Amino acid sequence: MFEEFGAPKENSVYSDKATDFRFETFSENKKSEYFVAEQNGKILGGCGYFPTEGLPADCAEIVKFYLCPDSRGMKIGTKLFSLAEECARLAGYKKLYIESFPQFSSAVSMYKKNGFTELSSRLGNSGHTATTIHLIKEI
């Protein structure tokens, strides 16, 4: 996805060494979940929420929200995103935070249509200092 849209690779999730250990991270943290859409054994996309270090206790970050190119436009992303948001709310979170790039304008547009508003600066300590768009939503 980063190559497809020309998003920065350095200081982003793309170069984050912790990405290689996300399964373990989600498994160990009971206040996080990750959802995967698959069809006929093919992964179509995924989306999760996680209490990123440095965020307020009542806030989780939407993380690793990606779709395969051929699954876009099928409402799979909307369903994954809605599921992550609802489950985060049920887990006790009151706010959701997202970091992104202008290159992912379709996703940013979807976030804003779903009630996210832009912040003037980042929250928390994701370590992804290349992101330039930071959004939040009360849930």
pLDDT tens digit sequence for 64-111 = 888 888 887 888 989 999 999 999 999 999 999 999 888 778 889 989
Summarize the confidence of residues 44-69 as an average pLDDT.
Answer: 92
- The strand pairing partners of 43, in sequence order, are 38
Indicate whether 3 pLDDT > 80: no
What share of the chain in percent tops pLDDT 70? 78
Cα distance between residue 136 and residue 139, in whole Å: 10
Percent of the chain that is helix, strand, coil (3-state, to 5): 35, 30, 35
Comparing 28 with 113, which gets the higher pLDDT?
Answer: 113
Cα distance between residue 110 and residue 8, in whole Å: 21
H or E, element range at 96? strand 95-100
Comparing 18 with 82, which gets the higher pLDDT?
Answer: 82
Determine the number of helices (DSSP H) and then strands (DSSP E) in the chain: 4, 6
Indicate whether 9 pLDDT > 80: no
Provide the pLDDT for residue 126: 74
Comparing 64 with 114, which gets the higher pLDDT?
Answer: 114
Q: How confident is the model at residue 28 (pLDDT cuts 50, 70, 90)?
A: confident
Residue pointed to by tokens 């304008």? 105
Summarize the confidence of residues 5-34 as an average pLDDT.
Answer: 62
Is this structure's pTM higher than 0.85? Answer: no
